[in-house]
Amino acid sequence: MTIQSSRTEDAGAPRTRATILLAAIRFVFLRVGVLPFFLVFSLIVFSLISNQFLSIQNLTNVARQSVYLVLVSLGQMLVLITGGFDLSVGTAIAMTSVVSAMAMVALAPVMPDMIWLAILLGAGAGLGAALLIGCLNGLGIAQFDVSPFIMTLGVQSVGAGIALFLTGGVPISGLPYDFGNFFGFGRVLGIPVPVMIALLAIVGIWLLMNRTKLGSHIYAVGGNVRAANLSGVNTKRVLFLAYVLCAMLASLAGLLLTARVESGETNLGGTIALESIAACVIGGVSLRGGLGRVENVVLGAFFIVLLQNGMNIAQIGSYMQMVLLGSLLVLAVILDQFRYRMLVGDR
């Protein structure tokens, strides 16, 4: 072997490793999106700021806090995959909180010996209010072809106004103790009840999207609505059900939040529409529709809460946190556009 060939091999080795690394980064980016890169960056930065950031206690606390955003993000994922989005998820949470609290406060004195029946009826009333919101969104978008932005923004405004009218802007207190004690702070088999409900919802949505005809139809509608329609898919029904399911998952989060704060409040979920869209986009759900995985969205929601937790540890103010979260969403959308073009180019 000559000296020249030896030098060539030595120079080629780093180049080969760099090529493999770039190929791996490209594969991860196309497969998952920007989430792994954001997650690694935030873990490094915040762990340098505080030794407590990666502690088991802090990560467990983040997991508990992420339950509500996970539920809403799962619903947001469904409508994003169809090519739309839902700005009214915060209103669904507020209406659920207000209506369920009012119903429980009214029914508890009437049936003191059947308090769980009062709780179930109150929860049912809250879920019914959110169901109405989902039906309105679904009908407007699927049946009358209204833009998802206009429809969900209008419903959000109407729902918020009704919630404020019902309460006068004052939180509703006096909920049954058992409701908050079980759904807010209770445990089953050592697992917090909100976490268990979120796990069941994650499994249910994963099965829906990967093992049912409705799930494949949701992907088909988001991929190409005209082609799906020509293939015999009832696109209007699929769109309607997607928005209904989104509202119901947000309503479930609203019930758990109401149990957590032990009062019915109109300001619950005020920023959750932005946060859920950010969690989905960071988790690899395309704003163009047709792309998205349940497990990535769950991790995306966990990342958003982890980021907020890290910013709190770093003592970043709430206003600046809004600026950073909004900037992160814009960056994620820009990178999503690059990812989409790369995916289309590969085809």
Please state which of the ranges 22-31, 188-197, 273-282 shows the lowest mean pLDDT. 22-31
From start to end of 275-345, where are the E strands?
Answer: none
Query: For the residues of 50-99, what is the DSSP string, one character each?
Result: -TTTTSHHHHHHHHHHTHHHHHHHHHHHHHHHTT---S-HHHHHHHHHHH
The pLDDT of residue 11 is: 53
Higher confidence at residue 344 or residue 142? 142
From start to end of the chain, where are the E strands?
Answer: 187-188, 191-192
Average pLDDT over every residue of 140-169 = 95
Q: Residue 144, SS3? A: coil
Q: Is the pLDDT of residue 187 over 80?
A: yes
Q: Name the most confidently modeled range: 169-183, 264-278, 331-345.
A: 169-183
| Residue 12 pLDDT grade (very low, low, confident, very high; cuts 50, 70, 90) | low
CB 304 within 8 A of CB 275: yes
Q: Give the residue ranges of DSSP H helices in 262-317.
A: 272-282, 294-313
- Cα distance between residue 164 and residue 87, in whole Å: 18
- Cα distance between residue 158 and residue 91, in whole Å: 9
Average pLDDT over every residue of 129-156 = 96
pLDDT digits (tens, 9 = 90+) for 201-212: 999 999 999 999
pLDDT digits (tens, 9 = 90+) for 63-79: 889 999 999 999 999 99
Q: Is the pLDDT of residue 94 over 90?
A: yes
Average pLDDT over every residue of 18-22 = 83
The pLDDT of residue 340 is: 75
Q: Residue 188, SS3? A: strand
pTM beyond 0.75, yes or no: yes
- Please state, rounded to an integer, the average pLDDT across all residues of the chain: 90
Average pLDDT over every residue of 234-245 = 97
- Cα distance between residue 268 and residue 258, in whole Å: 8
Neighbours of 171 (CB within 10 A): 16
Q: In this structure, what token pair is assigned to residue 193?
A: 């009840």
| Residue 325 pLDDT grade (very low, low, confident, very high; cuts 50, 70, 90) | confident
pLDDT digits (tens, 9 = 90+) for 115-132: 999 999 999 999 999 999
38 half-sphere exposure, CB direction, 13 A CA radius: 30
Q: Is the pLDDT of residue 105 over 60?
A: yes
Q: Is the pLDDT of residue 8 over 60?
A: no
